[in-house]
Chain A
Amino acid sequence: QKEVEQNSGPLSVPEGAIASLNCTYSDRVSQSFFWYRQYSGKSPELIMSIYSNGDKEDGRFTAQLNKASQYVSLLIRDSQPSDSATYLCAVDNNDMRFGAGTRLTVKP
């Protein structure tokens, strides 16, 4: 079983819609969770971190964490074509473990 699992996509949404990205993880003791955005050929860029159960909002982005279900998600409201990228979920398990990412395409 992979430590951090994401649907590889591609996930395609129209401009202005809500994009929903999901991630599950295997280690129950994980405490810190992150979402990174990675454009093609570029390095990952941190967009959200979340440490407690519930929702955390930052602009158009909302991260949701449910430790009991070992599930973390990222919602992107009012999606823009510039949001088209691969979104990596990362989980702190003493060492950071990354998922393989979900490729998001926002169509104008």
Chain B
Amino acid sequence: DAMVIQNPRYQVTQFGKPVTLSCSQTLNHNVMYWYQQKSSQAPKLLFHYYDKDFNNEADTPDNFQSRRPNTSFCFLDIRSPGLGDAAMYLCATSRGSRERYEQYFGPGTRLTVT
């Protein structure tokens, strides 16, 4: 089945220790997104790639970086995690055509910062 996969599902890191979250997709979608979601809040878009074109949200902290080495994979790097970065991180994909922005989400990675 075509899907969006995120690894790991749960990640514990120490304050200030870099961490990388990964996302892969078999949908062959052009666009990949990273969202941060804290409890009882809306998912907050961090950035997205349209093919190789990177689009950063204006309020995404510099502490967050992303890489998309190929169509299938996308990574979220948090260079120096703080306690406030503890959240669920969601990867999503879409075909990216103008008329259809349906996004399909992976299961998420829950990040704990100790």
**B-contacting residues of A (Cβ < 8 Å)?**
4, 8, 32, 34, 36, 41-46, 49, 51, 88, 90, 92, 95-101
Whether B70 sits at the interface, judged by CB under 8 Å, is no
Interface size on B, residues (CB 8 A): 22
Given A43-B106, A49-B100, A95-B57, 15 more contacts at CB 8 Å? Answer: A4-B42, A8-B40, A32-B100, A32-B101, A36-B105, A41-B110, A42-B107, A43-B107, A46-B104, A51-B99, A96-B45, A97-B42, A98-B43, A100-B40, A101-B40
A51-B99, A96-B103 known; A44+B90 contact, CB < 8 A: yes
Which DSSP category, helix, strand, loop or mixed, fits chain B's interface? Answer: loop
Q: Would you give the shortest CB distance from A65 to chain B, in whole angstroms?
A: 15
**A-contacting residues of B (Cβ < 8 Å)?**
33, 40-43, 45, 48, 55, 57, 88, 90, 99-108, 110
Docked CA distance A45–B113 (Å): 26
Q: Would you give the shortest CB distance from A2 to chain B, in whole angstroms?
A: 9
In the complex, the chain B residue whose C-beta lies closest to that of A36 is B105
Count A-B pairs with CB separation below 8 Å.
50
Q: Would you give the shortest CB distance from B27 to chain A, in whole angstroms?
A: 13
Which DSSP category, helix, strand, loop or mixed, fits chain A's interface? Answer: strand
Q: Would you give the shortest CB distance from B80 to chain A, in whole angstroms?
A: 26
Q: What chain A residues lie within 8 Å of B42 (beta carbons)?
A: 4, 88, 97-101
